[in-house]
């Protein structure tokens, strides 16, 4: 047997700085225009060939430090591994270890990021050398938010999420390095539920694609910082049910003058932290509102 080989891949969380859902598609999914950025905060995926024999009959084995994360075929890591094998015919057994830090049901893209990290790990270990376009095709087949994680920087995402354009350099520089505080209450929000509610509210809940493009173009052509970009039209449907979210965001705006939004379909929110922001006071305000054990994570846009 050849000696074990290991691939260690950082699997970042993302935030949607701008998220416009622009309409429902014939396939039931929604079209969107979104500016998304990975963070320097995330999970770690370790993939090792030949270290131990995965359970008889299975090519892949998955362990996770978080007992709440399913390690069966529903996990996007195993779905991605399966898709990779179908595409390449690679047969070696691999043991995956996921060090999970991104909360689940959070709108932070954790599962999607893990899936893309899996494709990158297997591409390394197998020597299959799939190119960017092939990896993007596989990623898009696993989840709408998977392809964006191939870029390693801020992107504009269109369609269902499969059309990715990296943000032009000068604009990316206005985002990269910005400090954010990400926070999530103890409950999550189902992405499918949020989109379903939006569809039930009728066409007026969407932002026309042309208007979304106009707003992004205006930000790209201007000189305002990340705060000038923040938008998310999934907020009204999610806020109607989960009122703790808008109440706290309003407190942070009024009390500290912060630019703050929900990420994706929630329940995570984030605030941009200007230099010198009173971080410990802000964290205290969040914990007073959402409880001492809620998730609060400082991070930097990557
Ligand atoms: O693609 P993913 O599995 O992450 O999406 C979860 C659910 O969110 C989908 O089943 C769909 O109901 C909804 N969704 C959508 N339009 C998108 C992305 C997700 O309607 N662009």
Task: Give the number of other CB atoms < 10 A from CB of residue 223.
Answer: 8
Q: What's the 75 CA to ligand 1 centre distance in angstroms?
A: 16
Q: Is 53 a catalytic residue?
A: no
Q: What's the 30 CA to ligand 1 centre distance in angstroms?
A: 7
Ligand 1 contact via 159 beta carbon (within 6 Å)? no
Domain 5-166: which CATH number of 3.40.50.300, 3.30.230.10, 3.40.228.10, 3.30.230.70: 3.30.230.10
**Cβ pair 273, 298 in contact under 8 A:** yes
**Domain ranges for the chain:** 5-166, 172-300
Instruction: Tell me the DSSP string of 106-171.
Output: SSS-HHHHHHHHHHHHHHHHH-----HHHHHHHHHHH-TTSGGGGSSS-EEEETTTTEEEEPPHHH
Kindly report the protein residue whose alpha carbon is nearest to atom 15 of ligand 1: 29
Ligand 1 contact via 264 beta carbon (within 6 Å)? no
Please report the pLDDT score of residue 1 as a whole number: 58
Q: Would the CA dihedral through 70, 152, 253, 221 be positive or negative?
A: negative
Ligand 1 contact via 189 beta carbon (within 6 Å)? no
Ligand 1 contact via 145 beta carbon (within 6 Å)? yes
Indicate if 172-300 has the same CATH topology as 5-166.
no
Residue 236: both structure tokens together: 């009204």
Please report the pLDDT score of residue 55 as a whole number: 67
Render each residue's pLDDT in the chain as its tens digit; 302 residues: 567 799 999 999 999 999 999 999 999 999 999 999 999 999 999 999 985 566 667 899 999 999 989 999 999 999 999 999 999 999 999 999 999 999 998 999 999 999 999 999 999 999 999 999 999 999 999 999 999 999 999 999 999 999 999 999 999 999 999 999 999 999 999 999 999 999 999 999 999 999 999 999 999 999 999 999 999 999 999 999 999 999 999 999 999 999 999 999 999 999 999 999 999 999 999 999 999 999 999 999 99
Please report the pLDDT score of residue 57 as a whole number: 76
Q: What is the CATH number of domain 172-300?
A: 3.30.70.890
Please report the pLDDT score of residue 3 as a whole number: 72
Q: Taking the model in full, what pTM does it have? A: 0.96
Give the residue, out of 29, 80, 83, 197, with the most ligand 1 atoms within 8 A of its beta carbon, to mutate for a pocket test: 29
């Amino acid at each position: 047997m050849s000696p074990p080989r290991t691939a260690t891949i950082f699997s970042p969380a993302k935030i949607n700085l701008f998220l416009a859902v622009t309409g429902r598609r014939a396939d039931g999914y929604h079209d969107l225009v979104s500016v998304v950025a990975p963070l320097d905060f995330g999970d770690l995926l370790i993939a090792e060939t030949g270290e131990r024999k995965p359970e008889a009959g299975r090519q892949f084995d998955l362990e996770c430090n978080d007992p709440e994360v399913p390690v069966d075929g529903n996990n996007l890591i195993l779905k991605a591994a399966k898709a990779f094998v179908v595409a390449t015919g690679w047969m070696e057994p691999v043991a995956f270890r996921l060090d999970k830090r991104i909360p689940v049901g959070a709108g932070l893209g954790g599962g999607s990021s893990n899936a893309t990290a899996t494709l990158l790990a297997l591409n390394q270990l197998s020597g299959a050398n799939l190119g960017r376009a092939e990896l993007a095709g596989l990623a898009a087949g696993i989840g709408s938010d998977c392809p964006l994680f191939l870029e390693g920087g801020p992107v504009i995402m269109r369609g269902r999420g499969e059309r990715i354009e990296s943000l032009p350099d000068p604009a990316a520089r206005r985002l990269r390095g910005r400090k954010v505080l990400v926070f999530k209450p103890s409950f999550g929000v189902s992405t499918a539920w949020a989109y379903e509610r939006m569809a039930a509210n009728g066409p007026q809940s969407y932002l026309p694609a042309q208007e979304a493009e106009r707003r992004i173009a205006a930000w790209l052509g201007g000189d305002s910082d990340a705060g000038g970009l923040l938008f998310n039209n999934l907020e009204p449907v999610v806020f109607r049910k989960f009122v703790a979210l808008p109440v706290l965001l309003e407190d942070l705006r009024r009390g500290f003058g912060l630019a703050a939004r929900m990420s994706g379909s929630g329940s995570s929110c984030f605030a941009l932290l200007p230099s010198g922001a009173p971080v410990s006071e802000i964290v205290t305000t969040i914990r007073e509102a959402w409880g001492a054990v809620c998730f609060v994570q400082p991070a930097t846009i990557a």
